[in-house]
Chains A and B, each alone.
Chain A
Amino acid sequence: MLDKDGVPTKEELLKQLPSEERLDRGPVVVIECFQEIPCDPCYYSCRRRAIREFADINSIPIVDFERCNGCTLCISSCPGLAIFVVDKTYSEESALVIMPYELLPLPEEGEEVACLDRRGEEVCKGRVVNIRTRKMQDKTAVISVAVPKEMVMEVRNIRVTS
């Protein structure tokens, strides 16, 4: 349970996820922010206004999944590192999980990495297909990892093994 060990339950997750139908249509954001805390940078980071305006600073972000095109701009804006973009249409067998990453060393593009779930346990292997470290991201790398399609809602971190 989220407030006991930091891992959200399926029920807690479901409240915030895009529909299966939307997931099948291409890249879309998954915001794993379940607690009202005073924080609002994600709202300002979205140029498509897909994150609804906050009633007040403690609001939980609510996404209009039709407006979101999975551009990933919001990922590095989140102080909680709670924003991911998933793309189930990446290829026949694999999906992309795009995640924030703040450890060194960074993996290399093309490298195979261990994929970890929300408990930090390895659940599969994945391949890094893109790493972005733009200045506006202020040291939070944004990494795209190709994972087996069925793992797209499980993988939320990587371990660089090389």
Chain B
Amino acid sequence: MEGETQVISCDVIVIGAGPAGLMAALRAGEAGAGVLLIDREPFTGGQLVKQTHRFFGSKHQYAGTRGFDIAVRITEKIECLKNVKILLEATALGYYEDGVLTVLHEGRMLKFKGKAIVVATGAHERFLPFENNDLPGVYGAGAVQTLMNVYGVLPAKRILMVGAGNIGLIVSYQLVQAGVEVAAIIEAAPRIGGYLVHASKVRRLGVPIMTGYTIKRALGKECVRGAIICKIDENWNPVEGTEIKIEVDAVCLAVGLSSLCELLWQAEVPMVYIPELGGHVPLRNEDMETPVERIYVAGDAAGIEEATSAMLEGELAGINAVSKLGYSVEDYANKRGKILSDLKNLRSGPVGEKIRAGLARLRTLRNGNL
């Protein structure tokens, strides 16, 4: 069909089929709503697909299960629901004033309109400024995982990992499993940011972890041949005379994530800057609804956290979106209460401190705003 395309309507559009989007679509679908779940990739699961390690969290929420298996299990449940349509290789391009969402699919621009929308677009990786950071061979951790774990391509022979958060540690472990030598994991902060069991796991493989170090420059003309790292002081300034040259053919950056929320900006959802949640994040209430009625958020798009909380937020967004549309969610009050208390438990320990601080700020800003 040439020319003007028709606007296709449905109850709920879920944008992004990662952990948050999958759970939102599943829960909305279970209540009987007509759901469209779109993702730009040719597969569902988002980042789950690349997670070859067992998940942490509660036994009752897939802990102990490998990430890629979680993606398959939830997708299979969704595929049993006739009222949920999954559209892959479909990229959401824009959200317009009249509530129309434009989507690029198979070279065509499609238009959709949902009575409610769940934005579960995830995050983008942060970059790091240093000399030669544009050389081929400087990767983000997501790219390294995509090459290795989605396409089976070795990204390097010997690699330097920058960042000892959970992503830096886990990807280092996966690199060793794939046969890549990890020369070192360097971390600018004075302490390892990721879970210490992950750190010990890569350390036992002989990978050094160097806290208080940063990358000064990448070496090489056509591609990465090495890197210069150096110590940094308590004010994050390089300490002269501490440079170390490391021979590597790739540098992997795992220096944090920020919410991917262009669609939310377009929808004029009020955005606030909360460093603890990764930067600019949408205002939203406890039920994951933004101040723009019937636009919900879940997962990293709502603030950087991890996959288990993303799944729980997705569930919340799903049941709330459909109950607002008038569908009855079986045992709604109990389900909602259980999800909220599970989220609270997940975030209750020492490693949840940053998230709790960020969410407290979000709450304060929301109360001033709404």
Residues of A within 8 A of B (CB): 2-8, 32-41, 43-44, 56-58, 77-82, 102-104, 116-121, 138-140, 156-157
Contact with A along B194-229 (1 / 0, CB 8 A): 011111111111111111000000000000000000
Give the Cβ gap from A114 to chain B, nearest Cβ, in Å. Answer: 11
Give the Cβ gap from A69 to chain B, nearest Cβ, in Å. Answer: 22
Across the interface, do B197 and A80 meet the contact criterion of CB distance under 8 Å?
yes
Q: How far is the CA of A56 from the CA of B341 in the complex (A)?
A: 12
Q: How far is the CA of A110 from the CA of B210 in the complex (A)?
A: 36
A5, A39, A56, A156: the one within 8 Å of B211 (CB): A5
Q: How far is the CA of A103 from the CA of B211 in the complex (A)?
A: 26
Chain B residues within 8 Å of A139, by CB: 66
A-contacting residues, B21-58, CB 8 Å:
53-58
Q: How far is the CA of A56 from the CA of B200 in the complex (A)?
A: 23
Chain A residues within 8 Å of B207, by CB: 120
29 A-B contact pairs sorted by A residue (CB < 8 Å): A5-B209, A5-B211, A6-B202, A7-B200, A8-B200, A35-B197, A36-B351, A38-B345, A38-B347, A38-B351, A38-B352, A41-B54, A43-B59, A56-B349, A57-B57, A57-B58, A57-B345, A58-B350, A79-B54, A80-B56, A81-B201, A82-B200, A103-B177, A118-B204, A119-B203, A120-B204, A138-B54, A138-B65, A157-B204
B177, B190, B206, B345: the one within 8 Å of A116 (CB): B206
Q: How far is the CA of A130 from the CA of B241 in the complex (A)?
A: 50
Across the interface, do B204 and A38 meet the contact criterion of CB distance under 8 Å?
no
Main secondary structure of the interface of B (DSSP, over half): mixed
B59, B197, B199, B351: the one within 8 Å of A41 (CB): B59
Known: A58-B349, A120-B205. A79 touches B196 (CB 8 A): no
Across the interface, do B308 and A33 meet the contact criterion of CB distance under 8 Å?
no
Chain B residues within 8 Å of A43, by CB: 59
Across the interface, name the chain A residue whose C-beta is closest to B62: A41
B64, B177, B346, B348: the one within 8 Å of A102 (CB): B177
Known: A5-B208, A58-B348, A79-B64. A38 touches B199 (CB 8 A): no
Across the interface, do A36 and B198 meet the contact criterion of CB distance under 8 Å?
no
Q: How far is the CA of A5 from the CA of B192 in the complex (A)?
A: 7
B63 CB within 8 Å of chain A: yes
B58, B203, B349: the one within 8 Å of A36 (CB): B349
Main secondary structure of the interface of A (DSSP, over half): loop
Across the interface, do A3 and B192 meet the contact criterion of CB distance under 8 Å?
yes
Known: A35-B351, A39-B57. A118 touches B201 (CB 8 A): no
Give the Cβ gap from B349 to chain A, nearest Cβ, in Å. Answer: 3
Known: A32-B200, A79-B53. A40 touches B206 (CB 8 A): no
B176 CB within 8 Å of chain A: yes
B191 CB within 8 Å of chain A: yes
Chain A residues within 8 Å of B351, by CB: 35-38, 58
Across the interface, do B177 and A37 meet the contact criterion of CB distance under 8 Å?
no
Give the Cβ gap from B149 to chain A, nearest Cβ, in Å. Answer: 14
Q: How far is the CA of A77 from the CA of B345 in the complex (A)?
A: 21
Chain A residues within 8 Å of B54, by CB: 41, 78-79, 138, 140
Q: How far is the CA of A80 from the CA of B173 in the complex (A)?
A: 11
Q: How far is the CA of A39 from the CA of B196 in the complex (A)?
A: 13
Across the interface, do B66 and A138 meet the contact criterion of CB distance under 8 Å?
yes
Give the Cβ gap from A122 to chain B, nearest Cβ, in Å. Answer: 9
